[in-house]
Structure 1
Amino acid sequence: MSNTTTPRLSLPFLAAGQAQKHITVNEALGRLDGLVQLAVQSRTVAAQPASPADGAMHILPTGATGAAWFDKAAGLLAHYVDGVWAALTPRAGWLAWIIDEGLALIHDGENWTPLSSTFKALTAARSPFFAATRFEILEQEVTLSGASVATTVMIPARAIVLGVSTRTSAAITGATSYSCGVAGEAGKFGAALGVAKNASNVGVIGPTAYYADTPVVITAAGGAFTGGKVRVSIHAMRFDPPAAV
């Protein structure tokens, strides 16, 4: 066997006739314990923790500091086992739960991307020339502050929107309620929506076409947002033209 580690998780192989085999086996088990069902404390903590729990895992942000972190590239996993930090390189397709954000991420081979900002699509029909009609849900969890917050996930140009649903994922402070809509129509998908955790709304509208990428806007009522989060789901139909020839 020419390789000394496994191809995906870089687990060390035992060498033929190796002494103290338990060291290699325990190293592999420790890495498996960190990477299987991957849960990360944070992706924003830049200062290396002084007293981390054994098994702690972080995604390193830009500008990380500390003896074991300062020279490591952003996006690497920092795993603390037996008093030592190890830097692990993620691969495309790895999933991680971010504990302090309550958010799932997927690695695309270059960056960690929130699963909540990816497209969830179902192709309803496809023609012989590969034109298609798709039903899609575009999602984002929005952290609230100020008078209003616009999503970075957009209603796509040339999509037909059937509705936008919301759920308050962290109790909202500062405002007594909120509206969900678009610029110029603050309550298009709902108004006087609840600020308590798990309050939800399904803002169904008549099918509406959008001809430019359009953010959803969450607008505070009764005061400005000082905290809280809302999960926004855009329910839409999209259309693909026939394939190029």
Structure 2
Amino acid sequence: MTSTARLGLPFLAASQAQKEVTHNEALARLDALAHLVLLDRNVTAAPGSPTEGDCYLVGAGGTGTFVGQGGKIASYADGAWAFYPPVLGMLAYVADEGTLAVYTAAGWKDYGALLSEVAVLSRTASGAQSRICTVEEELTLAGAFVESSIVIPDRSVLFGVSSRTTAAVTGVWQYHVGISGELEKFGGYLGITVGASNAGVIGPQAFYADTPVRITAHGDTEAFTGGKVRIALHYFLPVVPGA
């Protein structure tokens, strides 16, 4: 054997001259493929101003330097592009998508988003997706109620809305978290001191219109004079096929 079985790292030969060339080639390949970071996984032409160590996954129909390199990992080092075939089980962080992908017998498959607001659990070749989403917003309280700018999306299935008091609420004794017409849907008579929290789980329930969350004052003047509450929406969102 002249190279390793998986990554193709070249071996030094007995009595070989210029061993440093072979050794450096192996290091360069290992540096590119170990803990692989793909800046983009569908490029067809070499970027104009690459940085040393940049890696891309070449898509079909490559042009210029990338001609005939579809499906390979392009690594820029020492002012030139090198191309490496992926190996079974290789794991890559796809930087522009914030996700992990693993190379399987059927090609690259998404492993899932990394602690992001939207995680794609599965998807089809035509673009249909199943997403689990967690989005949040901090609301400054004033008046009888405030509504969020983030919404429970149309055609989503909501599991709940959680909340935490992040700045002491003034003007009332408690507050409710809900939606218009169902003011206590995700929690009623909630604490106004800093750190008071509630996991407002429901059904789950499907929503058929974009729906903001409403925080409503309760007690005394029935109006907030200050305070902040952070809310988080927890829902499932289907994405229809793209074609």
Q: Which bin holds the TM-score, normalised by the shorter protein? A: 0.5 to 0.7
Question: What pairs with 1:88-167 in structure 2 (closer than 5 Å)?
Answer: 88-116=84-112, 139-140=119-120, 152-153=129-130, 166-167=134-135
* Structure 2 CA distance for aligned equivalents of residues 8 and 69 of structure 1: 23
- Tell me how far 1:202 sits from its aligned partner: 7.4
Q: Is the contact made by 2:37 and 2:55 (CA closer than 8 Å) also made in structure 1?
A: yes
Letter in 1 for 2:14: A
Q: Distance in 1 between matches of 2:207 and 2:17?
A: 62
- CA distances 1:90-122 after superposition (whole Å, capped 9, x unpaired): 1111111111111111111331111118xxxxx
The reply to whether residue 72 of structure 1 matches residue 69 of structure 2 is: yes
C-alpha contact 1:54 1:81 (8 A) present in aligned 2: yes
One-letter amino acid matched to 1:91: V
Contact kept in structure 1, 2:37 and 2:95, CA below 8 Å:
yes
Whole-angstrom distance in 1 between the partners of 2:54 and 2:33: 11
Q: Distance in 2 between matches of 1:13 and 1:218?
A: 62
Q: Which amino acid aligns with 1:166?
A: T
Structure number with bigger Rg: 2
Percent sequence identity over matched residues? 35
Give the letter aligned to residue 93 of structure 1. Answer: G
**Residue segments in structure 1 that go unaligned for 5+ positions in a row:** 118-138, 143-149, 155-163, 169-174, 194-200, 209-215, 223-230, 235-245
Asked if 1:42 is matched to 2:40, the reply is yes
Matched-pair contact (CA < 8 Å) for 2:121–2:130: no
- Shift in CA distance, 55/188, structure 1 to aligned 2, threshold 3 Å: closer
Measure how far apart 1:189 and its partner are: 3.2
Task: Tell me the CA shift for residue 37 of structure 1.
Answer: 1.4
Q: Distance in 2 between matches of 1:19 and 1:63?
A: 39
8 Å contact from structure 2 (residues 159, 234) kept in 1: no
Quick one: which amino acid aligns to residue 69 of structure 1? F
Give the TM-score taking structure 2 as reference length.
0.54
Separation in structure 1 between the aligned mates of residue 48 and residue 9 of structure 2, nearest angstrom: 27
Query: 2: distance between equivalents of 1:218 and 1:71?
Result: 47
Question: Secondary structure at 1:68's aligned position in 2?
Answer: helix
Which residue of structure 2 aligns with residue 188 of structure 1? 158
SS state of the match for residue 22, structure 1? helix
Partners of 1:140 and 1:32 in 2: CA distance: 30
Partner of 2:151: 178
**Letter aligned with residue 189 of structure 1:** F
Q: What whole-Å deviation, never above 9, does each CA across 1:109-153 have from its counterpart, x for those lacking one?
A: 331111118xxxxxxxxxxxxxxxxxxxxx5179xxxxxxx9613
The answer on whether the counterparts of 2:101 and 2:110 sit within 8 Å (CA) in structure 1 is yes
- The alpha-carbon distance between structure 1 residues 101 and 80, as it changes in their structure 2 partners (threshold 3 A), is same
Alignment correspondent of 2:191: none
User: What SS does the corresponding residue of 2:83 show, helix, strand or coil?
Assistant: strand
Deviation at 1:82, TM superposition (A): 1.1
1:10 alignment partner in structure 2: 8
- Contact 2:135–2:234 at 8 Å: present in 1 too? yes
Q: 1:87 aligns with which of 63, 75, 83?
A: 83
Partner of 1:58: 56
Whole-Å separation in 2 of the counterparts to 1:105 and 1:55: 19
Over the aligned positions, Cα root-mean-square deviation in angstroms equals 3.9
Question: 2:45, 2:23 → 1: CA distance?
Answer: 31
1:179 Cα deviation after fit: 1.4
Q: Contact between 2:159 and 2:204, CA under 8 Å: does it hold in 1?
A: no
Q: Does 1:31 align with 2:29?
A: yes
